[in-house]
Amino acid sequence: MVKTIEGSRTAPRTPSIDSDEVAKFSAMAADWWNPTGKFKPLHKFNPVRLGFIRETAERHFAIAPGALAPLKGLRLLDIGCGGGLACEPMSRLGADVVGVDASESNIKTALTHAREQGLDIDYRAGTAEGLIDGGEKPFDIVLNLEVVEHVADAHAFLKDTASLVRPGGLMIVATLNRTAKALATAVIGAEYVLGWLPRGTHDWSKFVTPDEVHTALAAAGMTPQAPTGVSYKPLSDSWTLSSDTAVNYMTVATRPAE
C-alpha cells in the first residue's frame, strides 16, 4: 500500500502540482529503472549529480572523504523523487531517506524496486505542501532534482521546499536554465532530433534561471552559492561538471545554523 501524506494539498493550482506534468510522468512510471528506456538520459546523467551530492554533503557536514556510509545519521528528503534513482544511492550511502512524489504510479515503482533491492526507504505519495501542513520535521538535506521545471509555481515551490531544510542543513537544486541554448539542445535536440526523450517531456517556458533560483531561496532565508554547470561530452557519451550553466546546472543553498 502506498503511503500518502496527511494534509497533502493536491489541487492543480498548488505550487507543487501541474496536473499535466504529473500525468506525463505517471504514464512513464514503469520505465524508470530501464537504463535503455525513456529515462536513459537520466541514467547517464545520474552519476555526476550523485557524486556532486556526496562531495557537497561531505564538505558541508565535515565528513571524511571515502567513508563507506558518509551520510549515516543524516535525514534526507528527495522531493519529486520519481522512481527513486537518487533515493536508492543516498540510502546506500547511509542516509535516512524520505522520497516524495505527486505521482502515485511513480511511488509504486520506487517502492517496489527498493524492496527488491532490500532497501528501507520511506516513500510517500504527496507534495511539499503536504509535508509542511503535516508538521514534518525539517531535514538535514533536501534534494530538489529535475523537478522545479515541472511544477506550477517555481518560486513558491522553492520557498516551500527550503522551509523543510533544518538550520545548518542544505538543499541541492538541479534544473535547466531558460536560455536559447537550452531550448536548442535540451528540447529541440534531445526530444525532436536525437529522440533521447519523449517529445513534450519539457516545456522551455517553465525552465528556471539561476538568478530566479537564487532569489527564491534567499527569500526563504537560505544562502545560495554560485551555480555549477553540468555539460554533456559527446565523444565519451558522458556528463561532467563544468562552468557552463547555460543548459543544466546545480545550485547549493545552506540554511544558517541557529
The annotation status of 59 as a binding-site residue, yes or no, is no
Could you give the CA distance from residue 232 to residue 114 in angstroms, rounded to a whole number? 29
The annotation status of 145 as a binding-site residue, yes or no, is yes
Q: Which three cell numbers stand for residue 113?
A: 524496486
The annotation status of 178 as a binding-site residue, yes or no, is no
Q: Which three cell numbers stand for residue 233?
A: 561530452
Cα distances from 178 to residues 83, 183, 187, 244, in angstroms, run 26, 7, 11, 13
Sequence-separated contacts (24+) of 206-210 with Cβ below 8 Å: 206/149, 206/150, 206/154, 207/149, 207/175, 207/176, 207/177, 207/178, 207/179, 207/182, 208/148, 208/149, 208/154, 208/175, 208/176, 208/177, 208/178, 209/177, 209/178, 209/179, 210/177, 210/245, 210/249, 210/251
Q: Is 225 exposed, middle or buried (0-12, 13-18, 19+ CB in 10 A)?
A: middle
The annotation status of 101 as a binding-site residue, yes or no, is yes
Residue ranges for the known binding site for S-adenosyl-L-methionine are 49, 80, 101, 145
Residue ranges for the known binding site are 49, 80, 101, 145
